[in-house]
A and B are shown apart, each in its own frame.
Chain A
């Protein structure tokens, strides 16, 4: 029973970390603060994946999002601002209409969620998922898997082409 309560406390801690990180991303004045808020949000998401028994996805989240996309975004921040421009302020506009829209979306989602009775047979057993995901990729999802790899290759070549300086 004690273990149960402990795991709930840890869950709420990570959930709070995710939400607060996301709030920092959206509300911080400084771009660097936003990037670090995103770091905390991604870490919290990885922890939530662990709670969901998705160990492979948690690792992928850390490696790809924290190690890749976040670094890419930080490069974007650094390359598009002068280095002596230390505060890196960013402005917001249409704040209150947007806040209304976001609140409406949130309340709608919440309402739908509460009204629906989900098909809920109870959680899966917490087995390691990596092997089974690999088998699924190689058997049922082989075509999407290959298409995704080609897509990634094309996107990376395209990105390199776009930023290339014309000779």
Chain B
């Protein structure tokens, strides 16, 4: 029987993989992909708790809001990445140190 635990384990694995992606990648777009993984894992948790533990649909409503935030975040972050590419001719995060004293 598939229970709450299964979803929680999948979600924890996705979250850790997302953190690994954010920490190790040099490419800004790749870091964004890691952030999307983290947001998705949070969503999976919300929906799983909504189904197994809460007995109502509030968790799914929260998941919809998370999706909205993720869409806005992707749009703004890619805009920033594009202007960074225009400025530095690179999306390597190590080179974005213009503000460094």
Contacts and interface: CB of A to CB of B under 8 A. Distances in A.
The judgment on whether A and B are partners is yes
Contacts of B74: 68-69, 72-73
B52 A99 contact: no
Number of contact residues on A: which range applies? 35 or more
A98 B23 contact: yes
Interface in A29-61: 31, 34-35, 38, 41-42, 45, 48-49, 51-54, 56-57, 60-61
A6 interface: no
A133 B64 contact: yes
Interface residues of B, number: 69
B6 interface: yes
Contacts of A118: 4, 52-53
A42 B18 CA distance: 13
A72 to B, nearest CB: 5
A13 interface: no
Given A18-B14, A133-B60, A155-B72, A90 B37 contact: no
Interface of B is mostly: helix
Given A22-B17, A22-B18, A45-B44, A38 B9 contact: no
A73 B19 contact: no
Residue of A19, A76, A98 contacting most chain B CB atoms (<10 Å): A76
B60 A56 contact: yes
A79 B12 CA distance: 32
Given A41-B37, A110-B12, A73 B24 contact: no
Given A25-B17, A121-B55, A79 B70 contact: no
Nearest to B67: A64
A104 B41 CA distance: 17
Interface of B: 1-10, 12-21, 23-30, 32-34, 36-37, 40, 43-44, 47-48, 50-53, 55, 57-58, 60-61, 63-65, 67-76, 78-83, 85, 91, 94
Given A65-B40, A136-B61, 19 more contacts: A22-B18, A31-B29, A48-B10, A52-B50, A69-B36, A79-B85, A80-B28, A90-B27, A105-B16, A113-B8, A118-B52, A133-B61, A136-B57, A151-B69, A151-B72, A156-B72, A159-B79, A162-B80, A162-B83
30 contacts: A18-B10, A18-B14, A19-B14, A22-B13, A25-B33, A26-B20, A26-B24, A31-B29, A31-B30, A34-B30, A48-B7, A48-B10, A54-B51, A56-B60, A57-B64, A60-B67, A64-B71, A73-B32, A73-B74, A80-B28, A90-B30, A91-B27, A92-B25, A110-B12, A136-B57, A144-B65, A152-B71, A152-B72, A155-B75, A155-B76
